[in-house]
Amino acid sequence: MCQESASVSPSRVFGLRSDAASSFRSESPDLVGAWQSSLYLPIPEKFGSVSCSIIAAKSSEFQVLMDCQHFSFNRTNCLCKPYQTHHLQIIGGKRQIQRRILYLQAGSRNKAISCSMKSYRLSELTQAEVDRLKARPRIDFSSIFSLVNPIVDDVRHRGDAAVKDYTAKFDKVELDKIVEYVDELPDPQLDASVRDAFDVAYNNIYAFHAAQKPVDRSMENMKGVRCKRVARSIASVGLYVPGGTAVLPSTALMLAIPAQIAGCKTIVLATPPASDGSICKEVLYCAKKAGVTHILKAGGAQAISAMAWGTESCPKVEKIFGPGNQYVTAAKMILQNSEAMVSIDMPAGPSEVLVIADKYASPKHIASDLLSQAEHGPDSQVVLVIAGDGVNLRAIEEEISKQCKSLPRGEIALKALDHSFIIFTANMVEATTFSNSYAPEHLIINVKDAEKWESFIENAGSVFLGQWTPESVGDYASGTNHVLPTYGYARIYSGVSLDSFLKYITVQSLTKEGLTNLGPYVATMAEVEGLEAHKRAVTLRLQDIEAAQIS
């Protein structure tokens, strides 16, 4: 029996999805009779009561009227033969949105997975509808703040003891100490192939970020008036490397390498401990290689709080970097506006990718790129923007279903697909315009002559050009940084770079001639603003210069 259906025929199971109250209509003119009464639609209980009436059908074409506003069915776990796909068309208002239907019959046990991405034609959407598509699934931070604030305060006042308690509560790990000095830990033993992979990634990331080193610039604006700008590293930084459902040693490299190049003196890396209290050996390898000084064996809001306030064993840091779940993000937001006097890298949210594809793009590649972000978490969002005609959407959806079925994190990817979507655009200009308004974390341009569209991109965290550039290379080893703005913040934020670990100081120096040339103008401006002391700081010096010349 199927586990997610309200009523299921022993001989046939259909998995159907719809995103709006719609009329499902066959295009065939010779509709004959009603469909067999043995046909039922499996409806998850979470959608409540959904009434469906079968009006007519011919072969794979049929009409259904639904009284629901949102109905999404992703998979069944049934006694069935391999599924077949049948074409279905949603007719809603002025839009025609294509869907797929899953057909299963009684037989051997099998898991069937269908692509549940909704699709729209951009030219037929109102501005309000486009705005709703651009808006990410929002997190209710008001309720999360109420959970995180007590943790932040507790860590501030109880330090190490509070971190140990929360680690025992949330991670089920009892720790004797929460901080390890990296140079006191033995080198972890990795398989040669794994070590080589991280070494290649390290070298590429190091090279790309080292090339970002600023050059001190000095200029003389007026005769005797010299100005310059110099860079200095942030003395102590905190790096958050998530654990949870996936260990991310690559994030350790992405954050620690630019901190190492910048010359940060104290580098604290926070990561949840394993069940035995140890540190993930791959994370430790990357930390040692990239110059991390301390490892805080904690995750979540308690780790962010420990780095922000400082504890008996954890150094206080001045800036915190790294992605995390909603509790980590909430803690960063709270602490950057607190007495902790700590800065953060950027607002962070669930991972996302927008893929622009044309008829020349491989459906297999498109599907794999979408799923590579969908598997991050159920709150990830993936968007496919189809540019022009000739794209085989059915082949793409079949590839998504096929690949998803074989993924270890397939169920997670399916949940992400629930709130993801496909947009049809007339051409690349329309496609890039939508992408700029969406401002994705990752943007893949998988079209013919992709490089010529680079100049059209204004808002994106990181861009991947051409059919041979999967987003995965940026996540791991191309050299660019994978800590990027999400939630549309790419309109105003950049991803992590060497600059993120630096601060800049301006320096000016004037000679007597310089003050003589510039001083009168400064005195006039100070007088206009009514700041007499500012004026006198100049005029008294000018008087001294004049007196020396007379004598």
Catalytic residue annotation: 441-442
Altogether, the residues listed in the chain come to a count of 551
d(CA 93, CA 23): 9
Surface-to-core class of residue 195, CB atoms within 10 Å of its CB (0-12 exposed, 13-18 middle, 19+ buried): middle
Q: What is the DSSP letter of 188?
A: P
C-beta separation of 9 from 39 below 8 A: yes
| Two structure tokens written together for 374 | 């969908």
Phi/psi at 42 (nearest 5 deg)? Answer: -75, 120
Which residues, at least 6 apart from 427, have a Cβ–Cβ distance to it below 8 Å? 387, 388
Cα 289 to the chain's mean position, in Å? 26
**Best CA proximity match to 269, nearest among 311, 201, 290, 189:** 290
Which residues, at least 6 apart from 175, have a Cβ–Cβ distance to it below 8 Å? 164, 167, 168, 273, 277, 297
Residue found under tokens 């050996």 = 281
d(CA 333, CA 148): 10
d(CA 22, CA 216): 63
d(CA 31, CA 59): 10
The strand pairing partners of 91, in sequence order, are 23, 96
CA angle 357, 473, 463 (to 5 degrees): 45
d(CA 49, CA 6): 9
C-beta separation of 273 from 298 below 8 A: yes
Phi/psi at 343 (nearest 5 deg)? Answer: -105, 160
Which residues, at least 6 apart from 305, have a Cβ–Cβ distance to it below 8 Å? 151, 152, 155, 156, 163, 331, 335
C-beta separation of 384 from 352 below 8 A: no
Which residues, at least 6 apart from 547, have a Cβ–Cβ distance to it below 8 Å? none
d(CA 404, CA 528): 68
Surface-to-core class of residue 54, CB atoms within 10 Å of its CB (0-12 exposed, 13-18 middle, 19+ buried): middle
Report H helices in 219-362: 249-262, 281-289, 300-309, 326-336
Instruction: Give the long-range contacts of residues 26-29, CB within 8 A, separation 24 or more.
Output: 26/56, 26/57, 26/58, 26/61, 26/62, 26/63, 27/61, 27/89, 28/58, 28/61
